[in-house]
Amino acid sequence: MKAGYFLAFRSVWKHPAFKNVIESALWLYIVSNASHQEKELKFLGNPIFVKRGELIFPLRKNASIWKMPYSSMRLFIHRLKRKKMITTRIATMQPHNNHKYKSVTIISVSNYDKFQQYDLTPDQYKTTSHALLNNKLNNNTNLLGQAKVVNSEDKIVGTWGEYNEIIRNGKKYLVHKWKNEEKEY
């Protein structure tokens, strides 16, 4: 059994990239099972090299484990790729009676080191934590791919469902968290 820990934000359960708690839990599974160091793993007798932040993720097998249709699993993985939360690559291997395909998907968690606060100084950790708590995320601290700041002069003052409340030039706007939609408030 694996030992150790990983960091996760409580907001993962309401993150806009996930349609339900199953997808949130699947994301936590991906992050928690990502390798914390470069190493060669055996997958059905085949050696596969994974880097830090990567995991071997056979889509059909995981769809079965998570009781999801294969098409739903593929759509979920594509959504994570579109939101730049992960990247994927294919590793080739010899077919096995438990896995008839000649390839397997390797998922790499984007910004794994930032997400796990790896090698951050105490000041950088405090800055990142402070930005997350105050919902003032930018490209340097946007660890989960959420809450975009549209312009540098925009100030996020709150959230309302799937929208961030921002103030720009003295006017309030609602900006959708992951779509390019904006409404005057």
Angle between helices 70-82 and 21-33 (to 10 degrees): 70
Task: Give Rg (Cα) of the chain.
Answer: 19
Task: Kindly list the structural domains of the chain, giving each domain's residue range(s) and its CATH number in brackets, ordered by start.
Answer: 10-114 (1.10.10.10), 119-184 (no CATH)
Summarised one tens digit per residue, pLDDT across range 81-98 is: 999 999 999 988 777 776
Contact by Cβ (8 Å): 185, 172: yes
pTM of the model: 0.61
More confident site: 119 or 100: 100
Residue 61 corresponds to which tokens in the numbers above?
């097998």
Backbone phi and psi for residue 60, each to the nearest 5 degrees, phi listed first: -65, -45
More confident site: 40 or 127: 40
**In which region does residue 66 sit, left (phi positive, over 0), alpha (psi from -120 to 50) or beta (all else)?**
alpha
Summarised one tens digit per residue, pLDDT across range 8-63 is: 778 888 888 889 999 999 999 999 899 988 999 988 888 899 999 999 999 999 99
Cβ atoms within 10 A of the Cβ of 100, count?
8
Distances (CA, A) of 26 to 29, 119, 130: 5, 26, 27
Secondary-structure percent of the chain, ordered helix, strand, coil, rounded to 5: 30, 25, 45
- The H or E element containing residue 55 is strand 54-56
Per-residue exposure over 118-147, b if at least 16 CB sit within 10 Å of its own CB, e if not: eeeeeeeeeebeebbeebebeeebbbbbbb
